[in-house]
Structures are given as structure tokens and as C-alpha cells.
Structure 1
Amino acid sequence: MRASHVPITLQLRDQLQDILDSLGGFGPEVWLSLAFSGLLVAELLLARSGNPQYTRRWLAVLSIGALLIAGAWALWQPLRGFLFLHLLFLDDQAVFFKLVIIVGAVAVLAYEAYGPAERASVSSAYQLPPEWYSLLLALVLGLFIMTMATNLLAIYLGLELASICSYLLTALTTTRKASEGGIKYLLFGAVSSAIMLYGISLLYGMTGTLDITSTVFGVELAKNGTVVVALAGLLTLAGILFKLSLVPFHIWTPDAYDAAPVPVAAFFSIGPKAAALLVLMRLVSALPGELQTPLAVVALASITLGNLSALWQTDAKRLLAYSTIAHAGFLLVGVVAFNESGFQAATFYVATYLFINLAAFFLIDTFAQSTSGSLKINDFAGMGADRPWLAVAMTVVMLALTGLPPTVGFTAKLLSFSALLQAYQTTDNPWLLVLFGLGVLNAVVSLFYYLKIPYLLFFKVRTRTEVVAITPISQQVLIGVLVAPVILLFLKPDWLLQLIAGL
């Protein structure tokens, strides 16, 4: 009897040792968990001061500090490899995406905390309660887990943590619009999660494992019919498509973005998408190539629907919401190529999209400060004369979203479609050629709504009589820091491409 217990004891001991050893690669996530709890306590203590502005400034400083420590820790931690019995996998690629998420989170925190103090009085949509700082850290924690997840269960848990925080952040303000947007986000998220779980159960039933890096996973999938495997794979991808705002899981996007305050919507447009992109690339690498055609159809539908819907928008934030749907389709173009150059192009796209989209959201919010909080596009008419520097920055950003030189948006689209064309020459899949042709045509269509804002800024007469609000220097500097890489990375894309190639 004693001898029969020895192997079990050794096995449990080895498992425990693996878990303890894995903590060395899980430091940033542990730190974010502690920072989340610490911020809740700090909020209670700072609230005693009776000065809401003082409380918010200190919470912002603590949040930014916690995120910077997490980013530095992730960058310089020496441990690489599998963690927690192959639940997670830490490599340079995961670290790169973590840094993209950190930069986005720090930017929105800095913008929200150090913008004009009178902004909250302009519109109730700006009245974010202090809890949003801790919720943002919890959201970043969920995204961090997603970047390392190589087990279907870990992918789902990270996705759900990020989703729950996103629902709360959308509905955190006191407006009716926020409540409606949060409920719609929750309902569509619950449906996509249920579909994803069903797909995971099918894959587990076919393979007997949840580890997508296991050789057993690929061997067992190959024993099943291609239609069955493709269907199970698409069902599993539902949660990822939801986070990327891809058709048909895009319906929540305009309402959620419209309901959420600008800093929250700005982070939604980049943070969850970056983590979901890495998960998607890992999943399609583990699943059979039969998913290429369905994903090409999804990309084409997202690009077309996003662009055509954006054409009719009169609200700048809803326009950017539909724009993110279209750009999610462009982001998927590189993944659809199913080759290394395509994955690198998608990574380059999301890294540069970080600067472009954050700058776009911050700029429309800055112009709205002179229109009593209105984000109606027509209300921006004539503001170029009052704020020439910001109007020029807006023009650069809109050119980048369109994909025109001299901006990095052109480079990102060029790399993605080049990888797609290379894939077509290899596979002769006609859907790739259709995606290539209609995708380029859609980029032309987007000219009509992206360049409408610069046209109104410079060539239309100001119709509103409000006094132009003074934009704080800190806010202008932040926008300038975001816009500069949009030009610099067009001139020197190798700076980023060489880094991505070495991941």
C-alpha cells in the first residue's frame, strides 16, 4: 500500500513545484491583482478628504504607477515558457502585446485625469466615478491573461474577466444611455460566450485535451471530418470575434461606444482587440486550414458593413465605432493569410492602430469641449481656424484611418494586403482574391466619411457661438505624442517591423 502511494505523491509534488515555479512568470498579473485591491482601499481613504478632484488625481497617479510597474515587470522578467501546467505560455510575443495594452491604458488614464477640470460639468457622460480606475486595472489583468493563454479554459477565463469589466465600465455612469449600452453589451457578450463554450466542448470531445499546443490536439482533430472541425473551430472563435467587433458579433459596438465615456470607448477600441488578436492567431495556428475561407468572408463582411454604416453617421463617436468594425476586418486580413508575414502584418497593424485610434478619440473629445459636449460632426465646422494645430493633427489621423500616405495607416494596409496576395498565389483560394479586391475598394469608400471631418474643420464656417475652450497643455502634449508615431513609423517602419520579426 505504501509503495502504491509514492508515484501519486511524486506527481502531486511535481505539479505543486511547477505551480510555484510558474509564479516567477506571473508576477505582473499578481501585481495587478494586488493593485486592484489596493486602489479600492485607497479610494475609501481618499474619499474622506471631501475633494473629488483631489481623490481622482491621486487615484489616477496610483493607477498609472501600477500599470507602469506591471509593464516594466513584464518587459524585464527573465522567465519564459509554459506556466501552471501548460495553462499559459509566456514568450516575447505575449510581452509585446502586454506593452501595447499598457500604453493604451496609461494614455486613457492620463487623458481622463489631466484634461480640463470643467469637462465633467459639460456633459454627464464624463462623470466617471472613482471606481473606474480599479475596474480598468482588472480589465488589463484579464487582457494580460488572454495574451498568455494557450489552454481553451484559460482563454475563456481571461476573456470573461475582461468582458465583465467591460460591461461594468460601459454602464458605470448614471445616464440612461449608459445603462442601455451596458445591457446590450452584456446580452451579446453572454450569447457569444455561450457559443464559445459549446465550441470548446466539441473540441474537447474530439481531442480529449484543452491544450492547443499539445501534439495530441492536432493529431486527434485530423481524425475528424473537416466540416465538423471547421464548425467547432468557428463556434470556439465566437468569443474572440466578439471582442474584435467582427461580423456577426459586432452589433453591440456602436451602442456601447456611444454609451461609454470617451476614455473608456478609446480603450475598448484597442486594448481588448490587441489581446483578442493574439489569441486568434494562436487558435488559427492550432486549427486546420479549412477556417481560411470562413474568416475571409467574416473579414470582408466586417470591412464592408463597417464602412457603409459609417457613411451615414452624424455623431463622431458612433462614426469611430463603425470605423473600428471596419478596421477589425482589415486587422483580420493579415490573419486570413495564414502565413508568417500575415501574422507580422496583423501585429504591426494593431501596434500602429493604437496610436491612430487613441488620437482620434481624444481629438473628437477635445473639439467637443467647444460645443457644449456635442459630438455631432457638423458642429466641428470652422474650428480649424481656432485650433489649427489640433485640426492638422485630426487631418493626419483621418488620413491614417483611411490608409493614405504619408501615414503609417498606409504601411499597415500595404503589409496586410501584400501578405494576403502572397497567400492567394500559394493557395489559389478565390475568396482571398475577392477579399483583396473588395478590401482595397472599401479603403476608397472610407475616404468619404474620414475626410469629412477635416473638410468641415478647414472649409466650413463656424455655426456655433460658444466660447472656444482652452485645451490644457498636458492634453495637447499627449495628443502630439500619439500623432508623432503616425508619421514617424511611415518614414521608418523598420523600427517596428524588426522588433516584431524578432518576437
Structure 2
Amino acid sequence: MQLIDQLNDSIRSLAGFWPELALVFAIGIVILADLVLMPRSKVRQFSPKPELMEGSFSQLTNARNRSVVYALSLMAVVVAGVLLAVQWSQPRGFLFSSALLLDNQAVFYKMVVTLAAFFAILHAWLLPPRNGFPLDWLPILLAMLLGLYLMTMAVNLLTVYLSIELVSISSYLLTALSTDRKASEGGLKYLLFGAVSSAIMLYGMSLLYGLTGTLSLAESAEPLTSNDSFVIYIAGFLTLAGILFKLSLVPFHVWTPDAYEAAPTPVVAFFSVGPKAAALLVLMRILTALPANFQIPLAAIALASITLGNLSALWQTDAKRLLAYSSIAHAGFLLVGIVSFNETGFEASTFYVATYVFINMAAFLLIDLLAHQHDGRLSLQDFSGLGFTQPFLAFALTAVMIALTGLPPTVGFTAKLLVFSSLLEAYQSNGNPWLPALFGFGLLNAVISLFYYLRIPFLLYFRPTLTDQPVVKALSRPQFVLAAVLALPVVLLFFKPDWLLRWIERL
């Protein structure tokens, strides 16, 4: 009878699992399309130069087939997004014997990562990555998106671990999928650090299970209250290792610069926002379930991440490595809202990560578009003088750099204002001396970040054009539209933050 009840529960749970099922089906379709369409057609023509006709026909066929695979992948993401929009008005509750939880937070965060995947695929379609990056990355990206969906709903230690592993394995493959040596090195470093953090996290989960006798986060709080707080701290920190790794927080940040430099720019853009959004929600759920107070150690981690990320970014000469260290610093700012341990702080972090999607995806796209002026070179010096040859890209990138710094009139200012306001509110309620220290040093680091964020606009407008400056390549209309769609919310949400905040307050 119990087996029949479990089967009926699984069947009922499928009603809240349609976006995930759509992605599973889409992964198979995209793989089949890649296998069927991408082999080169061999055409025999009676011509004085058959090899030229065959080569041109083959290139035309491959370009058309490549567009079909991209269109299928993009359609899969759009379908998943539509199903999520429908899911917003459907009943909430536990799925699959309380292994997953479908609530407003899960649906919102799934929409955030879906938006990031949509822009990443469009980015790669309009600016194909170099170094022989195969189309195999598209089904891997969809599998990673599926893992992120599961992360946002995971309320069981086993599903948390399995979903993080699905995301991690997909990330390793995407990093090392290119044919150059740098990609292999970056993927190997990513894999080694990921394996260590996963092992630490699994050990912490085993300790929590031994202390509580349950894998459910909802049922673990009460049994833990009878245990020594030091034991809970140890088990909790070990469990959080995998989450800190996904957020690129100190001390699990070492993989970030090499992986960001090795992977193609569209993939890196997705890395910088997708896993962070899902990991942020998992972090909220775990910290809410644990009875111990992790405010002081998390404040130290946030401060260390902000400081190390900003100071390391000062010395970077490569744009992707600069944004890699920037993402470490921004992960620390994301954690500032969590450190507040109040509803205002959680809402501020949610607003931060939702707007960070537009800011960071725009940053990587604009830098990639400017890099195509130099055959893909991403050295900062190569941007010298491009402010006058590419005025739209330079202006949009300047606005994005101001947003990353956290200055008005951009939404980056609003996001930082909200997380630091929640920190002051938490200090007024509990008087923890670490909170004003985090507040002061966080603002100091925002000043430090001015020196490397504004270096790019300085090079664009106040440095002469390089002597080997190539011929200016005009933007295609789709590239222009995509850049505008990503850059416009960076300014618009500064003037209308309530469009997003009202939505977040209903979570």
C-alpha cells in the first residue's frame, strides 16, 4: 500500500514538474539534431572545380544546420520560460515525497536562470565562440539549466547534493570543451577544486544526517536544537562548502579566474550569474533550517571575498580575468544581504542577483563585441580609442561599468543600497559589532573598485587608438538589439526599482 501511495504521489508531482520535463525532452531533441544535421554533406558535381563547389556548399549547409540547432536550443529555453510563467499561478507544495519544494521563490529564481540561459545562447549564436567550440555545448547548457532548476527546489540534502553535482559536471565540461590547451587547464583546475568542495559538502551532510536522522531540511531544525552548537557549526560549515564554491566565495574562489579565462565568453557570462542565483536560494534554505547563528563567520567570508576580489582585479590586464575577480567581489556583496539574517536582507539579495543578470550578461556581451574589433583579443589595452569608433558599444559599456561599481544612475547603486540598508537594520536589532565593520569596509571596497571598473571607460575615451587598429566592423542589427536589451534595464531599473521589488516582496 505504501508503494502505491508513493507512486500516486510521484504522478501528482508531475503536474509541478513540467518545465523540468520539457528540458529533459529538449536535451534529447538537441542532441539528435546535432548528430543528424552537423555531419558535412558530400555533394558530387561535374564542374571544373568540384572541390570549390563542394566546399562552399558544405559551409552553407553547416551554417544553416548550426542555426537550426541554436534555434531548437533557444526554443527549449523559451518553452521552459513559458511553462514557468504558467506555473506562477499554479498550486504550491512538496513534490516527490518532499524531495523538492515548489514555491514562489523557486519559480522566481528559475525565471532568473532561464533568462540568463536565453541571453547566453543568443550571445553565442550572434557571436560564435572561437577556438573550435563545438555545438555539443548547447545540450550541456540545457542540462546545467535543469540542474539549476532542481537546485532552486531542493529541500532535501540528497537532492541538494545531486542537483549541485549535475550543475558542477556540466560546468566542468563547458569549461574544457574547447580544443585549446588553456581550456583543458582551466577545466582541470575547476574539476579538482569542485571535487574537493563536493567531498567536503557530502561529509558535512553525512554529519547532519547522523545528528538528525533525516535528510529533509524542514525536519532537521528541531533535532539539531538538542545538540552542541559547536558540532552544528562544524557540520553546517562543511555542508556549506559546495554552496560557497558555486558562489565563488573565499576560500573556494581559486578556480574562478582560470575557468573564466579558459571558457568561451557566452559560457562565462552564464557561469557568472546562473549558478550564483540558484546557490543563493539553496544557501537561504540551509541557513534557515540550521538553528545555529552563522552571522559572524559569514560576515568574515563576505568581507574577505569583497576585499580579495577588488584588490586582485586592480592588477588585471585581461578583461575576462578582471570580470572574474569582479564576480568574486560581487558574490561577497550578495552575501551581505544574507548576513543580515532578516527578511529585508533576503529580499535585497534577491533583487541584487536578479539585476546582476542584466549587468553581468551585458558586460560580457559588450566586451566580446569590442574584442571582435581585434580578432577576439581581450586585453584591456586593445580597447584604447574605441569610444569614438564604436560609440554605442562604448557608451553602453561605460554605463555597465558604472553599474558594477555601484554608482547612480544605474541599478547597481540601488542593489548595493538595499543590501547595506538591510545590514544596518540587522545591526540596530542585535548590535553585532561585525555588521558595522562589514558596512564600513564594504563601502571602502566600493571606492577601490572605481579604479579598475572606470579604467575601461578611461581607455575607451582618453587613450589614443592603437597603431594596429583594425578596420571598424559594423554591428549587425540583431547584435545591436541584444546589446540594447541587456543594457537598457541597467539604467531603467534605477528609476523604476519597484517594478522588480513588488514582485520580490510577494515571494
TM-score, normalised with respect to structure 2: 0.94
Query: 1:249-288 to 2 correspondence within 5 Å?
Result: 249-288=252-291
For the 8 Å contact 1:226–1:290, the answer to whether it is kept is no
**Aligned to 2:472, which of 468, 472, 480?**
468
**Aligned to 1:423, which of 411, 426, 435?**
426
2:293 alignment partner, SS class: helix
For the 8 Å contact 1:24–1:79, the answer to whether it is kept is no
1:290 alignment partner, SS class: coil
2:75 corresponds to: 65
2:14 corresponds to: 23
Q: Deviations over 1:418-460 (max 9, x none)?
A: 0011111111111111111100100000000000000110111
How far is the alpha carbon of 1:289 from its aligned partner? Answer: 4.1
Amino acid at match of 1:138: A
**Aligned to 1:36, which of 27, 38, 50?**
27
Measured in 1, the distance between the counterparts of 2:252 and 2:221 equals: 27
How far is the alpha carbon of 1:52 from its aligned partner? Answer: 2.6
Measured in 1, the distance between the counterparts of 2:242 and 2:91 equals: 29
Aligned length: 485
Q: Deviations over 1:38-76 (max 9, x none)?
A: 111111111245433222211110001011111111221
Measured in 1, the distance between the counterparts of 2:398 and 2:26 equals: 38
For the 8 Å contact 2:403–2:413, the answer to whether it is kept is yes
1:136 corresponds to: 141
**Aligned to 1:340, which of 339, 343, 348?**
343
For the 8 Å contact 2:144–2:170, the answer to whether it is kept is yes
2:502 corresponds to: 498
How far is the alpha carbon of 1:114 from its aligned partner? Answer: 2.1
Measured in 1, the distance between the counterparts of 2:355 and 2:483 equals: 15
TM-score, normalised with respect to structure 1: 0.95
Measured in 2, the distance between the counterparts of 1:181 and 1:468 equals: 32
Measured in 2, the distance between the counterparts of 1:289 and 1:410 equals: 32
**Aligned to 1:331, which of 328, 331, 334?**
334
2:111 corresponds to: 99
Measured in 2, the distance between the counterparts of 1:264 and 1:471 equals: 21
1:174 alignment partner, SS class: coil
1:483 corresponds to: 487
Does 1:171 pair with 2:176? yes
Measured in 2, the distance between the counterparts of 1:303 and 1:45 equals: 47
For the 8 Å contact 1:398–1:450, the answer to whether it is kept is yes
For the 8 Å contact 2:38–2:66, the answer to whether it is kept is no
Aligned-residue sequence identity (percent) comes to 61
Measured in 1, the distance between the counterparts of 2:471 and 2:401 equals: 26
1:385 alignment partner, SS class: helix
Does 1:244 pair with 2:254? no
Measured in 2, the distance between the counterparts of 1:56 and 1:229 equals: 52
**Aligned to 1:213, which of 205, 213, 218?**
218
How far is the alpha carbon of 1:106 from its aligned partner? Answer: 0.8
1:76 corresponds to: 86
**Worse-superposed segment, 441-450 or 79-88:** 79-88
Amino acid at match of 2:159: A
For the 8 Å contact 2:229–2:292, the answer to whether it is kept is no
How far is the alpha carbon of 1:93 from its aligned partner? Answer: 1.0
Amino acid at match of 2:412: G
Measured in 2, the distance between the counterparts of 1:55 and 1:155 equals: 37
Measured in 1, the distance between the counterparts of 2:427 and 2:234 equals: 23
1:226 corresponds to: 229
Q: Deviations over 1:16-57 (max 9, x none)?
A: 111110011111111111111111111111124543322221
1:330 alignment partner, SS class: helix
Amino acid at match of 2:180: T
For the 8 Å contact 2:256–2:324, the answer to whether it is kept is yes
2:372 corresponds to: 369
For the 8 Å contact 2:232–2:292, the answer to whether it is kept is no
Does 1:359 pair with 2:362? yes
**Aligned to 1:155, which of 160, 164, 181?**
160
When the two chains are superposed, the root-mean-square deviation of aligned CA atoms in Å is 1.0
Does 1:402 pair with 2:412? no
How far is the alpha carbon of 1:80 from its aligned partner? Answer: 1.6
Q: Deviations over 1:147-194 (max 9, x none)?
A: 000001000000000100000000001000000000000000000000
For the 8 Å contact 1:336–1:342, the answer to whether it is kept is yes
Measured in 1, the distance between the counterparts of 2:317 and 2:228 equals: 48
Gaps of 5+ in 1: 1-8
2:94 alignment partner, SS class: strand
Measured in 1, the distance between the counterparts of 2:82 and 2:233 equals: 39
1:441 corresponds to: 444
Amino acid at match of 1:302: S
Measured in 1, the distance between the counterparts of 2:292 and 2:359 equals: 32
Amino acid at match of 1:33: V
**Worse-superposed segment, 29-38 or 412-421:** 29-38
Q: CA 1:289 to 1:338, structure 2 compared with 1: closer, same or farther past 3 Å?
A: farther
For the 8 Å contact 1:230–1:288, the answer to whether it is kept is no
Large movers: runs of 4+ above 4 Å: none
Q: Deviations over 1:112-142 (max 9, x none)?
A: 1123xxx65xx42xx3201111111000000
Does 1:414 pair with 2:424? no
For the 8 Å contact 1:258–1:318, the answer to whether it is kept is yes
How far is the alpha carbon of 1:228 from its aligned partner? Answer: 1.1
